[in-house]
Amino acid sequence: MLDEIAVFWSKNGLGEININNINPLEIVINNCFECCSVPPVDKKLCSFSAGLLEGIITGNTGIGGTIKETECQGSGHNHCMYKMIK
């Protein structure tokens, strides 16, 4: 399923997904559509991506948890990182 999410993300111009870790789940998005074109503003900007990832993952796996953005291009990182918090 994670491979399908990565293909969907790329195909729809949302960015490029890489899975850094499975347990706990850690997802990195490069060229994130929400923030890659804005200068750093010292805060995380990608709540839509976090919510979409959470809905897809929890809805299709039955695994409960919250996807939290831990790093963002909007706060000066070169990617956005999301972690599953159970």
72: CATH: 3.30.1380.20
Q: What is the pLDDT of residue 15?
A: 98
pLDDT tens track, the chain, 86 positions: 899 999 999 999 999 999 999 999 999 999 999 999 999 999 999 999 999 999 999 999 988 899 999 999 999 999 999 999 98
Q: Which residues contact 6 (CB under 8 A, 6 or more apart)?
A: 16, 17, 18, 19
Query: Which residues form the domain of 12?
Result: 2-85
Cα–Cα distance between 84 and 36 in angstroms, integer?
A: 22
pTM: 0.93
Domain count, the chain: 1
Whether omega for the bond prior to residue 40 falls within 30 degrees of 0, making it cis, is: no
Cα–Cα distance between 9 and 4 in angstroms, integer?
A: 9
